[in-house]
Amino acid sequence: MPAPQEYLRDLYMLFAAVETTHEAKILLEDILTPQEVDSLAERWQLIQKLHAGEPQRNIAKELGVSISKITRGSRMLQYGSGGFVHFLKKLNT
């Protein structure tokens, strides 16, 4: 069952309140398991490499992930909500 909109709004506000990398770190460590944090970090690396134009096979080899995972990341980069593109531009990566 999807979370109520109020819960989602509160979660978005929580993330919007993060002001430093230290705050981001401690929040992620409390809200996610270590494996989930690692998975998110890997996904962000994958997205940055795709955005930089690195070949998918090179990314797969470097990160040790499947081509299907990279294809999903590529699809989200191209057809997602625009969050990846927004933050890639914002962070100038």
- For the stretch 21-54, pLDDT in tens is 999 999 999 999 999 999 999 999 999 999 999 9
- For the stretch 60-87, pLDDT in tens is 999 999 999 999 999 999 999 999 999 9
Contacts of residue 57, Cβ cutoff 8 Å, sequence gap at least 6: 67
H-state helical runs in 3-33: 5-16, 21-31
CA-to-CA dists, residue 3 to 7, 8, 26, 83, 91, angstroms: 6, 7, 24, 20, 30
